[in-house]
Structure 1
């Protein structure tokens, strides 16, 4: 039969791989590793997790070691017709429902749809029913840009379905856990136009919903490096100054911090401000610790200061941004002179207009508080990686240097994202800093009972916070911004550019000597757009608070992109010197010829030299744009008229994608971007929706090679699209179609692509293109079809098809017996009270960006159906069991397999015996001096592995007889000593419910020896023992005859080579383990044994127990209760 890929005139968002901020994987190579915001182990294989979007749609996200990601989408109730846009930016995967796409990002934070980030943040587990959000009242008013606005009228939160948990007055916002199932009121209000009564409330206040983003702690002889001993000798220790440390709490029993706290508050819900992680204690002691635990050796910078403790990160070192904002408001209101924030939102390289940055600006102005904030630890990703809230204008943003004053590899670099402003502001020591260790913690490298060594901009920031406290004691009249100015102006220029080190490494002796202040503290010119002409001027003001005039000699110290001095006339000061009158001010202008010099970033400072030889450095910088032209993208609908809605297109320079590679938002059918000379790919999707938001039509439109040598217009015309169709050898209804258009550049190092997922009822079109002459153009089409059914019946057969081609050569596809494989899929019965669904996810092995998303379909347990798959595609199946009692979804995944055309195969899902196995991504491995365990509780008889949690799980680890881990989880990381150690690992997994009646309890114990090896990036798998069972005559009810043959396989972890199996024993029980009977084993191969089992009449189920040992001494003991039923 022929199925018409079902209806287009909106431009879809674009899938962008490899932007300019970070390198992207090239064809055939793995994607960049994601930055995890959760304490996870680096493991091999593929992992899956499910998140529920704010719209109520469930997205199951799969990530593998050698190919990035795939998604399976289950639409929320009543959303059957909604389509989905897939966008990939570097290592981030976004899934945006089409009915809210026009709200992103102005009304809905794009991070709400960042599936990668949600999974890494743990929101797939800890926020199953809710999503943490910050709802800002006047984000669209234009007053939010600098965080100094007056409060606006508060919306009626109840009308919007919001129950505020905390008010964030500094940004006119509230924090709440939004029930995804009840988010409809809020989304409807955001979408509906005024003067609709409810919508008007949202529209008038400019409501924007932000993800309450996960933040984390950003992980020392260091006090002499900033001159603290000289300050102490002069009598300045920060006495009388209050420093707030907003972090993981503080161990106030530590000898260095036992008598300094003047106030504390918990913002995490932990119930106390004790430090269960160790980060906050370490940071606080750097800032103001007494050093008593080391006889003064590890003394803090301001040991005389008072401490306010705000616990804004939990005992794992993570928190939500609203906790941080709440903590900032509290600390400033409590009178903190200096607030230290050694934390940040990795990956959020804000332009300073996000809620946390705005809060810093508002509170700085309101309270004269100085916020000292880490720049971030994303320096290895290159320039433009300063994280929020360090991106705030008012923040004193701190990078890290080592003991040789070299900027560390991890220290985030400027410029600030979005506007090329100067950040960071200063640097301080942040490499291997020895400071206080909280009791019972072992963060980073343990030095002794009272100390640990740690590295990060987290360690650099409290050096500066302590320096600010010392300076505040010496000059109590200084405001927060004046403290910032002096600390910057007196910093020691070292080896980096201003984009790396700001003004340089903070140095207290010169800060204490400096009396004249410069304002602003840096001269940031931003970007000079091509073609440049004319000049730009900034005014620098010097203020002299002393009673005598001061004459300053002025000089310009600046270098171009090549590191050489600027050409003559490129920049000039209006005076060679100025005299600043007593108690007065003087100004000087810096004028820049925007056309002079080479394109690129300029770095430097205005240097004012005092009569005594002291220097006041005011950093300066600008970015001169290279030869760029306007590339205007115009979108036409299928009717030939200019499309007047919002949309996005992908634009990439195919000569070299690092020159330009991003997606742009269209308004009114056109958008203009500035691009270098070259050849460009311009691609997008247009779609139409009905009144309910269901997709009716979609068109993929591509102009793959657009030459830009001057201002140029590229037209995407949906009217050129041809209908996408598919035929199958058996009658089938089209359920879902996915399109992918992926463009690679000539070096094959950058990828720009888009994807869309639409219901089978939509009509889909694509514009044909010829093969490209530069780079590559991949057009992929995925179809999910099934036998016609009525209602929610399980189909008798299914089709999962994926077609890929160079360019858009054809849009008519056919599934035949020659180009498909047929899999006879059996679904075992595991109990009642759950909805069972299954599907297939397909991808190309040599091009990871080409894949067909999974589509879940109802499956009937105890039955078999035929499932047809495209040949020459790597397929991975999944079985999704959703319990009606609200328990976690059970998701089984197979390993990848490629079928050939005409091949026939059979698989059974959920078949007994299900037991704990070590397979695929569930591994025992060493990562340097860390033993990383990640174990699957249940794997079925054919190797389909469950990533779901049980009703309970209990993991314990012993090292040389001493217990070192005891967690209710399936994973743990424990240290490995240099000489190695003997380990015993015990896992109890229990799932005893009406919907799971087999293998209700699996208890496994492993013993083995481990020594350090590998790394987090290249771990070493350990040859631990593993067992698997196969029972003859097993049916789809997971029952076998009373007399049957069991096959036991004892092996080592896949990918490892272990020693010979020397001992194996098997027992069986007819009474749930009350009594055990030993089985006689017959060895039939290496580690393979068989046993004849005959159970007593009336036995309903059989339990199994096995023990094995190899020649090296590794052992395994496993007990499976209710392993299989008896018929």
Structure 2
């Protein structure tokens, strides 16, 4: 049986530790600054029970609330308001001059403001150069290194790992890795034991926050689907493809128009939130809008195959961490892609934003040989940033907007909806599996592999 590497001290704060009342040390250091990769707006986190009126009283802001808006709310289309409040999360997106934002920071200690952060730009995560201005994220080239050298390097690393962890050399050999044939089922469904599960996701609401959905795709005919766009000027219809692919893996049909079957929770209720544009980009405010919408609608699972790059030593967002904690308290688990910035074996990047938050389940990617995908980020940063679990993420077939209908792509984005779909099966299995309990059962039931916890967390996700 495969052994699990021994864990060192956790890089995350305990999941049940209450940091609600602890202001971020970065509460005022970014006031009036728009770092690269940000929008110029700010996220303001309020202490639980603090009224949004504090933003008006302290900084003279005009505040609108999503509770008063029937359709998808965006800071871009609120008329004269310069702050949008998400009451379910206790967070506001503020679009105001630096002096007004500075006033909030100065009064933070007495006003119930816990943190202020620049609003980040986020992207759909898939294997490839998705983010403008960033290096390509495809696997590193072997140019300049003889093949024998690379094989020798690999063997040396494997030998050292076996010696340090007690793993049995070769224990994950051909007999332990099935030869996946995708005539009836994708390799991802086979590897995660989905076909053997008697659960279907019935009665479970799954929100996928991404580039939207091609609701006219024939494989989704007759399904219960609720849609909402949080991108100004764009409908939910997926003009990119990423969202339709992720929704297909998490909740696609049991009998698609063309085999192999690729969907997991085929009777779950789908909530498709468009928080990324047809170009595959968005901002923190749109993500928070989608989280607020999903929580308010009683979704047990939120799947987010999106994010932004995080540098070495960089901490997680206090705003998103509190949003995730508040979602967990309402019975909603957020599952997010760890990121694709690595170029293994030469370079491993830390888990990206917002998956690096302790209360968000971060998903790494494996290939069909049960090895870490070259692009998959690792748990490197000392504060937050741990990979919690892994899913199939290389050469994953799923639905795609018409007229193509089906496509195979790679990324931690593709691993994430595997975990989300299987989470729906566990949620159907036992109504007690909600929030933190759902996160726990996913990690406890994962298949242990002789790989570093840094890269795959508890192991490969498994269906009940």
TM-score (norm 2): 0.71
Partner residue in 1 for 2:168: none
Distance 1:185 1:344, change over 3 A: closer
Match of 2:366 among 382, 390, 401: 401
* 8 Å CA contact 2:308, 2:353 repeated in 1: yes
In the TM superposition, 1:962-1001 aligns within 5 A as none
* 8 Å CA contact 1:156, 1:201 repeated in 2: no
Distance 1:159 1:483, change over 3 A: closer
CA distance in 1, matches of 2:30, 2:57: 21
C-alpha deviation, 1:391, in angstroms = 2.0
State yes or no: 1:169 paired with 2:87.
yes
Q: Higher RCO, 1 or 2 (CA under 8 Å, sep at least 6)?
A: 2
Distance 1:507 1:358, change over 3 A: same
State yes or no: 1:216 paired with 2:140.
no
Q: Output one character per residue of 1:908-929: Cα deviation in whole Å (capped at 9) or x when no partner.
A: xxxxxxxxxxxxxxxxxxxxxx
State yes or no: 1:183 paired with 2:87.
no
Q: What SS class does the counterpart of residue 228 from structure 1 fall into?
A: coil
Distance 1:474 1:321, change over 3 A: same
CA distance in 1, matches of 2:32, 2:372: 30
Q: What SS class does the counterpart of residue 387 from structure 1 fall into?
A: coil
CA distance in 2, matches of 1:243, 1:376: 21
State yes or no: 1:340 paired with 2:309.
no
Q: What SS class does the counterpart of residue 245 from structure 1 fall into?
A: strand
Q: What SS class does the counterpart of residue 227 from structure 1 fall into?
A: coil
Partner residue in 1 for 2:399: 436
C-alpha deviation, 1:225, in angstroms = 1.1
CA distance in 1, matches of 2:203, 2:306: 26
CA distance in 1, matches of 2:32, 2:267: 42
CA distance in 1, matches of 2:43, 2:124: 20
Q: Output one character per residue of 1:1006-1054: Cα deviation in whole Å (capped at 9) or x when no partner.
A: xxxxxxxxxxxxxxxxxxxxxxxxxxxxxxxxxxxxxxxxxxxxxxxxx
CA distance in 1, matches of 2:84, 2:210: 19
C-alpha deviation, 1:161, in angstroms = 5.3
Q: Output one character per residue of 1:645-668: Cα deviation in whole Å (capped at 9) or x when no partner.
A: xxxxxxxxxxxxxxxxxxxxxxxx
Q: What SS class does the counterpart of residue 190 from structure 2 fall into?
A: helix
Partner residue in 1 for 2:54: 155
In the TM superposition, 1:933-948 aligns within 5 A as none
Partner residue in 1 for 2:318: 354
Q: Output one character per residue of 1:327-353: Cα deviation in whole Å (capped at 9) or x when no partner.
A: 111101101111111111222676444
CA distance in 2, matches of 1:333, 1:396: 20
* 8 Å CA contact 1:375, 1:424 repeated in 2: yes
Q: What SS class does the counterpart of residue 214 from structure 1 fall into?
A: strand
C-alpha deviation, 1:218, in angstroms = 0.9
Partner residue in 1 for 2:357: 392
Q: What SS class does the counterpart of residue 506 from structure 1 fall into?
A: coil
State yes or no: 1:307 paired with 2:216.
no
Q: What SS class does the counterpart of residue 397 from structure 1 fall into?
A: strand
C-alpha deviation, 1:164, in angstroms = 3.6
How many residue pairs align between the two structures? 360
CA distance in 1, matches of 2:49, 2:349: 31
Distance 1:200 1:502, change over 3 A: closer
Structure 1, gaps ≥5 residues long:
1-102, 124-130, 139-148, 192-198, 441-448, 513-1127
State yes or no: 1:230 paired with 2:190.
no
Superposition misfits of 4+ residues, deviation over 6 angstroms: none
C-alpha deviation, 1:495, in angstroms = 3.5
Partner residue in 1 for 2:28: 107
Q: Output one character per residue of 1:46-84: Cα deviation in whole Å (capped at 9) or x when no partner.
A: xxxxxxxxxxxxxxxxxxxxxxxxxxxxxxxxxxxxxxx
CA distance in 2, matches of 1:153, 1:333: 18
In the TM superposition, 1:763-802 aligns within 5 A as none
* 8 Å CA contact 2:341, 2:348 repeated in 1: no
Q: Between Structure 1 and Structure 2, which shows a larger proportion of helix residues? A: 2
In the TM superposition, 1:804-953 aligns within 5 A as none
CA distance in 1, matches of 2:205, 2:113: 37
Match of 2:41 among 132, 154, 175: 132
Distance 1:134 1:227, change over 3 A: same
* 8 Å CA contact 1:236, 1:474 repeated in 2: yes
Q: Output one character per residue of 1:347-393: Cα deviation in whole Å (capped at 9) or x when no partner.
A: 2676444212220111111x111221111112338556112221232
State yes or no: 1:498 paired with 2:453.
yes
Q: What SS class does the counterpart of residue 291 from structure 2 fall into?
A: helix
Q: Output one character per residue of 1:449-483: Cα deviation in whole Å (capped at 9) or x when no partner.
A: 21111111110010011111112222233223222
* 8 Å CA contact 1:375, 1:397 repeated in 2: yes
Partner residue in 2 for 1:242: 205
Distance 1:112 1:153, change over 3 A: same
* 8 Å CA contact 1:391, 1:423 repeated in 2: yes
* 8 Å CA contact 1:422, 1:502 repeated in 2: no
Distance 1:357 1:185, change over 3 A: closer
CA distance in 2, matches of 1:426, 1:111: 37
State yes or no: 1:377 paired with 2:340.
yes
Distance 1:292 1:132, change over 3 A: farther
Partner residue in 2 for 1:507: 462
In the TM superposition, 1:249-268 aligns within 5 A as 249-268=212-231
* 8 Å CA contact 1:252, 1:261 repeated in 2: no
Q: What SS class does the counterpart of residue 264 from structure 1 fall into?
A: strand
Distance 1:112 1:348, change over 3 A: farther
C-alpha deviation, 1:157, in angstroms = 2.9
State yes or no: 1:450 paired with 2:357.
no
C-alpha deviation, 1:136, in angstroms = 3.1
CA distance in 1, matches of 2:27, 2:405: 48
Q: What SS class does the counterpart of residue 426 from structure 2 fall into?
A: helix
Q: Output one character per residue of 1:888-946: Cα deviation in whole Å (capped at 9) or x when no partner.
A: xxxxxxxxxxxxxxxxxxxxxxxxxxxxxxxxxxxxxxxxxxxxxxxxxxxxxxxxxxx
TM-score (norm 1): 0.30
CA distance in 1, matches of 2:52, 2:388: 36
CA distance in 2, matches of 1:339, 1:165: 25
CA distance in 1, matches of 2:46, 2:280: 29
* 8 Å CA contact 2:115, 2:318 repeated in 1: no
CA distance in 2, matches of 1:169, 1:345: 25
Distance 1:360 1:200, change over 3 A: closer
* 8 Å CA contact 1:361, 1:392 repeated in 2: no
Q: What SS class does the counterpart of residue 393 from structure 1 fall into?
A: coil
CA distance in 2, matches of 1:209, 1:392: 16
CA distance in 1, matches of 2:262, 2:52: 48
* 8 Å CA contact 1:290, 1:299 repeated in 2: yes
Partner residue in 2 for 1:971: none
Partner residue in 2 for 1:469: 424
CA distance in 2, matches of 1:383, 1:170: 36
Which structure has the greater CA radius of gyration?
1
* 8 Å CA contact 1:265, 1:309 repeated in 2: yes
Q: Output one character per residue of 1:630-683: Cα deviation in whole Å (capped at 9) or x when no partner.
A: xxxxxxxxxxxxxxxxxxxxxxxxxxxxxxxxxxxxxxxxxxxxxxxxxxxxxx
Distance 1:160 1:487, change over 3 A: same
C-alpha root-mean-square deviation of aligned residues, in Å? 2.8
C-alpha deviation, 1:156, in angstroms = 3.6
Q: What SS class does the counterpart of residue 356 from structure 1 fall into?
A: helix
Partner residue in 2 for 1:483: 438
Partner residue in 2 for 1:1122: none
* 8 Å CA contact 2:317, 2:353 repeated in 1: no
